Amino acid sequence: MSSNSFRVMKFGGSSVGSPRRLRQVIELIGKHSRTGPLAVVVSAMGDTTDWLLEAADLATRGELEGSLTVVARIAHLAKTNAAALHPAQSTTLAARVDQLLAPLQQLLQGISLTRECSPPSKDKVLSFGELISATLLAELLRAAGTEAHFRDARLLLVTDDTFGTARVDVARTRERLQSATAEWGTTVPVIPGFIAATLDGRTTTLGRNGSDYTAALVAQGLGASEVTVWTDVLGLHTADPDLVSDAYPVAHLTHGEGLELAAVGVRMLHPRTMIPLIEAGISLRIRNTMHPDHPGTLIDAIGSRDGQRPTCIATREDLALLGIEVRKLSDQFQLGERALSALRAARVTVWMTAQSANGQSIALVVPRPDAQRARNALEAELAQELARREVEPLGVREPVTLVTLVAEAMGHGVNVAGRFFSALGAVGVGVRASAQGASSRSISCVVDAEDTAIAVRTTHAAFNLAHQQVSLFLLGKGTVGGQLLAQLRAQQEQLRQRHGIALRVVGIADSRHTLFDPAGLALDGIEEQLARVVRGEPGTRALAPLLDELRRLPVPILVDCTADGDVASLYTEAFRRSIHVVAANKKPLALPWNEREALLAEARRHHVAYHYETTVASSLPVIDTLANLVRTGDTVRLITASLSGSVGFICNELTAGVPLSTAVRTARERGFTESDPREDLSGADVARKALILARELGLSLSLSDVALEPFVPEPSDAGDSPESYLRSLRALDAEYTQKVERCRQSGTVLRYLARIDPTRLGTDAPVIRVGLTAVEAGQPAADLRGSESFVSFTTMRHSEFPLTVRGAGAGGAVTASGVLADILRVSQTLRGR
């Protein structure tokens, strides 16, 4: 950078809106003015522009007193800021503010008398914000020892008389700026942004992002090397930080990327700002006033040379999608040209157009407040064709959001569009329209407004993060839930480093307490944290409001490690919010057939995962194996299974000569049984598991269709508590010892099995039978050890040698590992790479 070339700094309203920030601005200007020629462009302080609009509106309604009250508010802000920085001159500066605002008060009085605020009058009103800001900043700089002077932009920038969004005469503006530098000498010119003037001296404004545009024009006119826009953020982010907590500043972009982002409405950029910079080869840097050491974002002709450079996801919300479809297309119809011309004449901004290859239909994205005006304009333009029914009635979808992926590298790679749409499709976000420019630098799509957050989070993670973030809300911290937390603690770092998956527990709830933090809970001591929470409303309904927070987080998953029978409604609410569900809870799957089918249909409708592998045989891949058999066209003829690891353990203990009551107590102490062993010994748990498997075959059966023989009939003196039940089992010790002895004498082993025979459907024989069986030696179930489970599938393809899945079938750690596997299955499916 030449030491003689100008640099231009622009400070936004937030940068000069408070004494603390204003002091930082003065220090920055003083520091940089000592290293070479510097020009400063400044916006109105804080919310001054909004207040001026309010004052003009009140005056137009004849409410002069209210209008002047707003002016007093503007004066108070300016005087307070000035006095805080230069108290010795507070009286003089206050008088200067009053002097500057006196013409505004007169102007508002005139507006209130005529009850009319013409565009020229409105521009005149709005000019006072920048005039006050630039005047005070120049005086405060001088007081701080920096030689600076106010320079009126209306004497430098020449425009036409399109008030509100004036068009700049670039040639005349350049001439005036170059002539002015001789007068400036070595002083720092402080120029009000946003305002300009016609050749005959009438005040105009430059419209949205007008101060940035002023800075670009000043830089172009002065032949500056760089424009720095000082604002309240660290730079252009990879996405809106309000939508994506992991968004981060982009260090380096090309002019082309900046122009693409400006074109889709990124707040800090505007096409009019970028074009003068591109034409003159001037770089633009965006930096944070309060963090001046941070380099911010540099936008220049070169951009980043990093092949893995980040991608920006831009959003524009509160839009409407208008669709036109032609029934009979002729060469003369020119649908796109006519539609755009009609909207241009109606002064409606079009943010995106998407036309079919044959021109048969076109989608137009416009601001939602302008949707009706746009529709009227299009219907007027196509009135004859509509009357002849050559055009379908216009469709309007609102509100929608425009989501745009911007990256220079897109034009140099393959499958960018595929990854973009695949990521959205994986989370059930419907794309209503899409478009890609000839530069291949950006691709845009329209999504429903309610899908904005999940669409942006998903695409941001797919293109910008080395790891897939996953947000878990855990229900239940008992045997399985507690073990899952332990495994997450042990595996978190390895999963991130080796598999690119960052699992984060954001919520946990038990029957009495709920803990939730979108930023993630510290897993160390989480049980103690939960215990300290004030007891909340019981039941799963109280958790529904938290789902609204969960759905806004990356890859939200509701993880159910409870045995709650009333949780299906919570699953439904989760699915409707595009939240995945991973469950070890069997009860929702054993609901009446229609309710179970409705639950699964809700998950499919919203394109979310519902994984429940652990509901049948802990961590064994039973459901997945069965699903693959069915999907590949095999026919299942018989399923034989030992589905309760706890009962299997008890059977092995009985065979070893352990009394029933002792065996059950041991199984409970080791965490093999449900909290109440009756669930296991009654056979209800196995019946549910068998029903789940049968339903995976498409059999519309219910629990009442299961021929169930309890493993242990409930003693008459069992009592209500699990402990009293365990004591009552002593009365059955002798009976079960005799059953084991009879099996031993016949060379068999006592097992508790489920048998599912689809061929019996439609007959009087039960399709599902659960009960005690004496198994002959050599059969798969005969040599099960400990808490092992097994499932045997006899199918058309596996008839001679049934397909068998066998392994540990009980225990909190084993089940928790299966739950974790289901969580990772969701994560890796969405990651897609």
Residue 412 Cα distances to 107, 357, 442, 731, angstroms: 56, 24, 12, 78
359 Rama sector, left if φ>0, alpha if ψ -120 to 50, beta otherwise: left
What are the tokens at 683?
């056979």
| Rounded Cα gap, residues 788 and 644, in angstroms | 8
The distance from CA 174 to its chain's CA centroid, rounded to whole angstroms, is 45
Q: For 302, phi and psi rounded to 5 degrees?
A: -95, -50
Q: Is 31 a known active-site residue?
A: no
| Rounded Cα gap, residues 696 and 676, in angstroms | 27
| Rounded Cα gap, residues 625 and 811, in angstroms | 21
DSSP states of 538-570:
-SGGGGHHHHHHHTTSSSEEEEE-S--TT-HHH
| Rounded Cα gap, residues 128 and 81, in angstroms | 16
DSSP states of 656-685:
TT--HHHHHHHHHHTT-S-SSTHHHHTSHH
Residue 431 Cα distances to 8, 43, 418, 696, angstroms: 42, 39, 13, 31
How many CA atoms lie within 13 Å of 690's alpha carbon, on the beta-carbon side?
32
Going by DSSP bridges, is the β-strand pair 433-436/442-448 parallel, antiparallel, or unpaired? antiparallel
| Rounded Cα gap, residues 207 and 50, in angstroms | 13
Which sign does the torsion angle of CA 28, 34, 38, 44 carry?
A: positive
Strand partners, 226: 7, 283
Q: Which of 31, 328, 689, 739 is catalytic?
A: 689
At 365 the three-state DSSP class reads strand
With residue 232 as reference, give the H or E element that holds it. Answer: none
| Rounded Cα gap, residues 243 and 240, in angstroms | 5
State the distance between the two ends of the chain, measured CA to CA, in whole angstroms. Answer: 42
Number of residues assigned to the chain: 833
Going by DSSP bridges, is the β-strand pair 283-288/433-436 parallel, antiparallel, or unpaired? unpaired
Alpha helix stretches (DSSP H) within 290-352: 335-345
DSSP E strand stretches across 76-225: 148-150, 158-159, 188-192, 195-198, 203-205
Say if CB 179 and CB 171 are below 8 A apart.
no
Strand partners, 191: 41
What are the tokens at 309?
């450079």
DSSP code for 206 = -
Buried b / exposed e across 25-37, counting CB within 10 Å, b at 16+? bbebbbebbeeeb
What are the tokens at 376?
């009227």
| Rounded Cα gap, residues 483 and 486, in angstroms | 5
With residue 154 as reference, give the H or E element that holds it. Answer: none
Q: Residue 690's CB: how many other CB atoms inside 10 A?
A: 28
Please give the positions annotated as active site: 689
